[in-house]
Structure 1
Amino acid sequence: MANVVVVGAQWGDEGKGKIVDWLSEQADVVVRFQGGHNAGHTLVIGGTVYKLSLLPSGVVRPGKLSVIGNGVVLDPHALAGEVERLTGQGVSITRENLRVAENATLILSVHRELDALRESGSAGTKIGTTKRGIGPAYEDKVGRRAIRLMDLADLSSLPEKIERMLTHHNALRRGFGLDEFSADAIYEELASVAPKVLPYMDAVWRLLDDQRRAGKRILFEGAQGALLDVDHGTYPFVTSSNTVAGQAATGSGLGPGGVGYVLGIAKAYTTRVGEGPFPTELFDEVGELIGQKGKEFGVVTGRKRRCGWFDATLVRQTVSTSGIDGIALTKLDILDGFETIKIGVGYKLDGETIDYFPASQGAQARVEPIYEEIEGWSGSTAGARSWADLPAQAIKYVRRIEELIGAPVAVLSTSPERDDTILMKNPFEG
């Protein structure tokens, strides 16, 4: 049996929550390996809606172990709040079913404020972040001045670590003409939340190695999408972490040998939140209609998503950079009723035809999509649970996507409900 890594194959918001939850039924362990509480997963189970930001999707299922890996930047107050909210919905969260890496970097108020200052500043620094401190926390991690979860277990050592961190942040505050942060206030911010989060702390690398050796099935759950990867995405309009499948190993401590089947999640069209290039974006009534039918608003922020046609060139690229073995195609039902559907199959750049998305920011802004038109379908795909339930043209659309991206569609999702899913290949069976 293979362990499974689930990654977004576009710019995030592809419907990973439902797919991860659906797969977690077969998993013993579900691991979050990067990102922070800027990424939202919505799960609909038996008519109950669960909105998760930090907690792995497996947490709503009894008998599953959920793990937050070292690759995640952790806002301890956000974690405590999310645990409290889900507990209020009847979900039991204890050390038995949740562990958090002891070496996970913490997000503090200094990070949130710096994030907001940059986003509200000059146009040159506006990336379209959620202002939740994710990027600045990753900066402190790389700058070797971060405070980590394990530091909360030894409060006597915190003042020295806080002073080291504030040497950097207060210099920035002075540059903005703002009051400096108080070391005492930061200490209180951390000391007050320590009892709420420390019960979940563990050496996650060792825990996962033990689980793997015991033959347990591990499901790795990514946040955002591969096109927001800090190296392989639409830089600088990206997130602050690696979102490709290789990060599952680094962000959990399990090692590349423990990572098996890579399942990429892609919508049957394309969406994007925030700033940055989007070659197949639609600015007309068709784009509006897709957004309305697909309820395209951010789970965490409520921000309206930009909508466009499926871009096969981009997804083919993420198939390569994440080593995707199969695709879970979601929201096919949103395209029901369109007379004609377009697929982006390449680009024009300065008069030349290219079959990849260039890395240069300037070139990314200049590319123009080349489209292939496909006849739409009048029948409904909503709630379909077998190929026989699908209109012939819908099947033709799926098959054409497979050809263009160079990967098979392993799973087809036809509604937010977990059971409205057509399975061609079980990722856990390699």
Structure 2
Amino acid sequence: MAVTVLIGAQWGDEGKGKVIDVLTERVDWVVRYQGGNNAGHTVEIGDEKYVLHLIPSGILRPGTRCVIGNGLVVDPAGLRQELEDLHARGHETRGRLFVSDRAHVVLDYHKALDGALEAEKTGRTIGTTRRGIGPAYAEKSSRTGLRMVDLLSPELPDRVADAVRRANTRLAALGAETLRVNETVGRAVEAAQYLRPYICDTIPLLNGARSKGDSILCEGAQGIMLDIDFGTYPYVTSSNTGASGVASGTGLPPQSIQRVVGVIKAYTTRVGEGPFPTELSDATGERLRERGGEYGATTGRPRRCGWFDGVIARYAATVCGVSDWAITKMDVLDDVETIRVCTAYECDGKRLETVPADLETFSRCRPVYEDLEGWQCSTAGCRSVEELPEKARAFVHYLEDFTGVKAGLLSLGPRRDQTLSVEDGDFD
């Protein structure tokens, strides 16, 4: 059975949680393949609002099974809190959520190191969430990290104690406060006991489901412009956020991927530091932020807002092999008279039509815009493509033509029922 991948095609926060929730109505499994609880997926169902950080959004669909793949770094205490919150709201997770025993673990000392390392980068901070994600991935690469399988070992207290002592040496060298070994060990052991029933080898589980004909949706966190290889390095996350991360983060073979859904906002946002060519530091940017509720689901930080960057969207389509777009937050542009789309960059007198690798060059890029007429009426009540204002449909067509990718889904608000799905991705 084919595997569908859903990726963020900008700098994250594109509304993937809602799109996943819509798509999971027709899938058997939802698999998260990278990142940690530095990301947040927000889903609104009726009057209920859910913010999930580690658990796939599919958990909100009864009968859908969910996997936290081996490509993640998992904060056991954070995962336990998410599970307890879901249980308190009536959602059953036992037998529906499976956590890879190969996923790496985030503990208190990773968070302490994250903060200390950020504080050390005077004048050039990355803007991390300080959730310990980078240090955990660094340990994974240096082959000194702990994995979820270690939570099942009777030697867990000793392994955590050794890791904390090593981290304390680094923290002291950075001039940061060190951690109490026994307290850190105790919290880890307590969380491990709670999570024990969820931890298993998810590779045969997923490949068995695929062989059986089950439908599988793989979800990423953040967006392609925060990818460790393809993003605005070093202002990126520590994992592969695009479709290339699926095989290494789940154990599903690359040839099983048949569809890649790219999620893009009708404008662009970014959290944290780094270049952002279409950023609006004016009243228009503030209006987008307020109308779009552009504040981080994980940290509450205000997001930087700007016009739609077609260069980035086309780059994402190329790098990730996007099959169709899910365009979100169209309704935020309902009252905009003139909508601008960046179609190229200008830097040092030269025209650039792709994303430069050199950060200094990218920082000097200025957007070349195409102006489109806004529709200036509400789309909130539209329940079919035919009901959309003509100029809203023209906007969608323009994005399709420029990127070479058809739109298959359109979101006009945060609720499930504010979603237009179009057969074969055709808005004609």
> Which residue does the alignment assign to 2:133?
134
State the distance in 2 between where 1:20 and 1:330 align. Answer: 12
State the distance in 1 between where 2:310 and 2:373 align. Answer: 17
State the distance in 1 between where 2:133 and 2:123 align. Answer: 19
Mean Cα displacement is larger for which, 124-133 or 275-284?
Answer: 124-133
Structure 1, unmatched stretches of 5+, are none
CA shift, 1:178, in A, is 4.4
> Which residue does the alignment assign to 1:348?
346
> Which residue does the alignment assign to 1:250?
248
> Which residue does the alignment assign to 1:63?
63
Distance 1:157-1:109 versus aligned 2 partners, 3 A rule: closer
CA shift, 1:394, in A, is 0.8
Aligned-partner residue type, residue 131 of structure 1: R
RMSD over aligned Cα, in angstroms? 1.6
Distance 1:419-1:426 versus aligned 2 partners, 3 A rule: farther
> Which residue does the alignment assign to 2:201?
203
Q: Does structure 2 conserve the Cα–Cα contact (< 8 Å) formed by 1:249 and 1:255?
A: yes
Q: Secondary structure at the match of 2:146?
A: coil
> Which residue does the alignment assign to 1:90?
90
Identity of aligned residues (%): 44
> Which residue does the alignment assign to 1:323?
321
Q: Does structure 2 conserve the Cα–Cα contact (< 8 Å) formed by 1:118 and 1:125?
A: no
State the distance in 2 between where 1:160 and 1:287 align. Answer: 49
Q: Secondary structure at the match of 1:374?
A: strand
Distance 1:47-1:4 versus aligned 2 partners, 3 A rule: same
> Which residue does the alignment assign to 1:420?
418
Q: Does 1:17 align with 2:17?
A: yes
Q: Does structure 1 conserve the Cα–Cα contact (< 8 Å) formed by 2:266 and 2:308?
A: yes
TM-score, normalising length from structure 2? Answer: 0.96
> Which residue does the alignment assign to 2:74?
74
> Which residue does the alignment assign to 1:379?
377
Q: Does structure 1 conserve the Cα–Cα contact (< 8 Å) formed by 2:5 and 2:218?
A: yes
CA shift, 1:191, in A, is 1.3
TM-score, normalising length from structure 1? Answer: 0.95
Structure 1 runs, 4 residues or longer, greater than 6 Å off: none
Map Cα deviations across residues 36-70 of structure 1 (whole Å, 9 max, x no partner): 01111111112211111111001111111110000
CA shift, 1:99, in A, is 0.3
CA shift, 1:88, in A, is 1.1
Map Cα deviations across residues 313-359 of structure 1 (whole Å, 9 max, x no partner): 01100111111111100011111121111000000011101101101
CA shift, 1:162, in A, is 4.5
Q: Does structure 2 conserve the Cα–Cα contact (< 8 Å) formed by 1:383 and 1:415?
A: no
> Which residue does the alignment assign to 2:336?
338
State the distance in 2 between where 1:40 and 1:426 align. Answer: 29
Q: Does structure 1 conserve the Cα–Cα contact (< 8 Å) formed by 2:310 and 2:343?
A: yes
Q: Does structure 1 conserve the Cα–Cα contact (< 8 Å) formed by 2:4 and 2:258?
A: yes
Mean Cα displacement is larger for which, 7-16 or 409-418?
Answer: 409-418
State the distance in 1 between where 2:200 and 2:382 align. Answer: 42
CA shift, 1:424, in A, is 2.0
State the distance in 2 between where 1:392 and 1:250 align. Answer: 43
> Which residue does the alignment assign to 2:105?
106
CA shift, 1:182, in A, is 4.9
CA shift, 1:188, in A, is 2.0
Distance 1:284-1:194 versus aligned 2 partners, 3 A rule: same
Q: Does structure 1 conserve the Cα–Cα contact (< 8 Å) formed by 2:160 and 2:185?
A: no
> Which residue does the alignment assign to 2:264?
266
CA shift, 1:168, in A, is 4.5
Q: Secondary structure at the match of 1:34?
A: coil
> Which residue does the alignment assign to 1:155?
154
State the distance in 1 between where 2:130 and 2:60 align. Answer: 27
Distance 1:180-1:306 versus aligned 2 partners, 3 A rule: closer
State the distance in 2 between where 1:125 and 1:167 align. Answer: 28
